[in-house]
C-alpha cells in the first residue's frame, strides 16, 4: 500500500495555528489508506494554584483562560465568596508547568488555612485527599424556583456546541462548558482537557464579566458528576444539561440543591433526573418561556 499525505482526512492539518494545541507528526491508517501528516494535539500541563504564597492544588489543564480558571475554581470551591475578594492573578511559567499566584483578601485566606488543616489535597478528577466523609459535600445554596425552561432551548444550545468548540474540532480531546440564555443561545463557552476545569473557566468568565448566571442555564459535553452539579449550584444556576448521564450522587446532590438535572441532552432528546417542574417538555407552541 502506498503511503499518502491526506491533509483533509487525517484531521485539521490545514490550520495554520490552534491556540491550546500543538502540531505533531502522526502516522496511521484510515479507510484502508496509510497517511503521514501533522496533526493538532491538545495541550495538557500541570497548573498549580497558590493563594497568598501558599500552595493549594495542582490541576492538569489546558493553558487557556487561566485567569478565568483561577477565579472560577476559587468561587466554585467555596474559597472565595465573591469576585472582588480576588485582588490579582500572576502567571508564572516554567519547564514543568504553570503556577498561578493568587492574591486574595484576608477573610477567605484565613478560611482556606483552616480548611487546609482537614484537607490533605485535591486532584483534577475526583475527591482524593479528603480526610473524612463529612468533607465531601459542603453546604450548597438551595436554588430558588426560578424560570421554567423549554426543551427546545436545551436542544438549541446542544446543537451549537460542535461549531463553537474550536479546540475540540482541532484535537478531539477536550470538553466544553457553556452558559446559555433562556432562549438556548450559547453566550459563553470555555474548553479544557478536564471537564471540571472547563466549568471552572466558564464560572470565572461569567463572574469576571458581571453576568447574572441565574438567568440562564449551563450545558456541558461530559457526564454530570457530583462535582459538576456542586459547581453549578455554587454559581447559582438552576439547570445543568449534560450530553451524557449523571451519577447517582450527582442526582442526589441536585435534589438537595433544588437543581433541575438533565442528561443525555442530544438534539431534541433529553432525560430529566430531578426537579422536572422547571422544564416544559412540550412543543414550542404549547409551552411557556422563562418567566
Q: Which residues are catalytic?
A: 125
- Rounded to whole angstroms, the Cα distance separating 192 from 66 reads 10
Nearest CA to 272 out of 190, 150, 157, 180 is that of 150
Strand partners for 97 = 94
**Concatenated DSSP letters for 23-53?**
EEEEEEEETTEEEEEEEEEE--EEEEEEETT
The sign one gets for the Cα dihedral 105, 108, 113, 116 is negative
Cα distances (Å, whole numbers) of residue 150 to 90, 176, 261, 264, 280: 41, 22, 14, 16, 5
Amino acid at each position: 500500500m502506498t503511503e499518502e499525505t491526506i491533509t483533509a482526512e487525517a484531521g485539521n492539518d490545514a490550520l495554520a495555528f490552534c491556540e491550546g494545541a500543538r502540531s505533531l507528526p502522526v502516522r496511521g491508517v484510515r479507510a484502508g489508506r496509510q497517511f503521514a501528516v501533522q496533526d493538532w494535539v491538545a495541550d495538557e500541563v500541570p497548573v498549580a494554584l497558590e493563594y497568598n504564597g501558599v500552595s493549594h492544588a495542582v490541576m492538569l489543564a489546558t493553558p487557556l483562560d487561566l485567569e478565568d480558571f483561577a477565579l472560577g475554581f476559587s468561587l466554585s470551591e467555596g474559597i472565595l465568596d465573591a469576585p472582588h475578594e480576588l485582588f490579582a492573578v500572576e502567571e508564572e511559567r516554567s519547564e514543568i508547568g504553570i503556577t498561578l499566584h493568587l492574591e486574595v483578601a484576608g477573610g477567605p485566606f484565613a478560611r482556606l488555612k483552616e480548611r487546609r488543616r482537614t484537607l490533605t489535597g485535591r486532584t483534577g478528577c475526583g475527591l482524593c485527599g479528603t480526610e473524612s466523609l463529612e468533607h465531601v459535600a459542603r453546604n450548597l445554596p438551595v436554588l430558588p424556583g426560578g424560570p421554567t425552561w423549554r426543551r427546545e432551548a436545551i436542544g438549541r444550545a446542544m446543537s451549537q456546541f460542535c461549531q463553537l468548540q474550536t479546540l475540540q474540532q482541532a484535537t478531539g480531546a477536550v470538553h466544553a462548558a457553556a452558559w446559555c440564555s433562556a432562549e438556548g443561545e450559547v453566550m459563553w463557552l470555555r474548553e479544557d482537557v478536564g471537564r471540571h476545569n472547563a466549568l471552572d473557566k466558564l464560572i470565572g468568565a461569567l463572574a469576571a464579566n458581571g453576568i447574572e448566571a441565574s438567568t440562564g442555564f449551563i450545558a456541558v459535553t461530559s457526564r454530570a458528576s457530583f462535582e459538576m452539579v456542586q459547581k453549578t449550584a455554587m454559581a447559582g444556576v438552576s439547570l445543568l444539561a449534560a450530553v451524557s448521564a449523571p451519577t447517582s450522587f450527582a442526582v442526589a446532590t441536585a435534589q438537595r440543591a433544588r437543581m433541575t438535572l438533565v442528561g443525555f441532552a442530544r438534539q431534541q432528546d433529553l432525560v430529566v433526573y430531578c426537579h422536572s417542574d422547571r422544564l416544559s417538555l412540550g412543543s414550542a407552541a404549547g409551552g411557556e418561556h422563562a418567566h
